[in-house]
């Protein structure tokens, strides 16, 4: 078996295990997609099976992807415009837009859901105009380790169901590191 075939099989098995683990912990109202890619693979990095829903985290209710992982926005972006480069997408995979030309509405999400084009050329989901991403250091559904991270020209915040940045800190019961605790800073100091 070639090295690339083994890697693809290993990544597929890992994604399946993560999906199974996520299914039992959060109730997510999905926006389905036929796209699937491997997070952290550079310019084409996306979240698997891009779907959005709402879940309760240490920050309160936030947008999550189909696996229950927290969705973030970057303050360096502007409504409808992503500034996240290929290097950025290795750490902050975009939430891929579903196949087709329109975004369905999702129960519990009041923000307008639309699409925009990332710097990589991939189609990505926006909420309230803001391009959406996940964070590779979030290891389980409900993690909010990307909250308040300052890197790639701005600050990363979880996204509320209304499409705005959640600017509060996580409640003390969370195990997420405090902003600036070895994650982020300038550039890509991960």
| pLDDT, tens digit (0-9, with 9 covering 90-100), for 138-178 | 999 999 999 999 999 999 999 999 999 999 887 765 444 44
Q: What is the pLDDT of residues 64-83, one digit of tens each?
A: 998 999 999 999 999 999 99
116 pLDDT band, cuts 50/70/90, is very high
Q: What is the pTM of this model?
A: 0.67
Q: Are strands 150-151 and 154-158 parallel, antiparallel or unpaired?
A: antiparallel
The pLDDT assigned to 106 comes to 86
Tell me the mean pLDDT in the region 3-7: 42
The pLDDT assigned to 50 comes to 46
The pLDDT assigned to 190 comes to 55
Measured from the Cβ of residue 118, the count of other Cβ atoms closer than 10 Å reads 25
Place of tokens 């693979």: 41
Q: Are strands 113-117 and 130-131 parallel, antiparallel or unpaired?
A: unpaired
Nearest to residue 122, comparing CAs of 113, 132, 112?
132
Residue 112 DSSP code: P
* SS3 of residue 158 by DSSP: strand
Higher pLDDT, 134 or 6: 134
| Percentage of the residues of the chain whose pLDDT score is greater than 70 | 63
Tell me the mean pLDDT in the region 18-46: 36
Q: Per-domain residue ranges for the chain?
A: 3-158
Q: How far apart are CA 11 and CA 30, in angstroms?
A: 23
């Amino acid at each position: 078996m070639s090295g690339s075939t083994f890697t693809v099989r290993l990544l597929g098995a890992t994604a399946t295990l993560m999906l199974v683990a996520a299914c039992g912990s959060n109730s997510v109202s999905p926006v389905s997609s036929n796209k699937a890619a491997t997070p952290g693979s550079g310019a084409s990095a996306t979240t698997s099976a891009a779907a959005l829903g709402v879940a309760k985290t240490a920050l309160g209710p936030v947008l999550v992807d189909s696996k229950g992982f927290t969705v973030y926005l970057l303050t360096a972006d502007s409504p409808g415009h992503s500034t996240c480069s290929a290097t950025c997408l290795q750490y902050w995979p975009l939430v891929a837009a579903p196949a087709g030309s329109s975004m369905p509405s999702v129960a519990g999400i009041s923000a307008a859901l639309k699409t925009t084009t990332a710097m990589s050329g991939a189609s990505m989901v926006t909420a309230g105009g803001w391009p959406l991403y996940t964070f590779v250091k979030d290891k389980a559904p409900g993690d909010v380790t990307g909250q308040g991270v300052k890197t790639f020209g701005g600050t990363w915040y979880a996204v509320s169901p209304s499409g705005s940045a959640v600017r509060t800190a996580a409640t003390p019961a969370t195990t997420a590191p405090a902003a600036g605790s070895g994650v982020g800073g300038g550039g890509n100091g991960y």
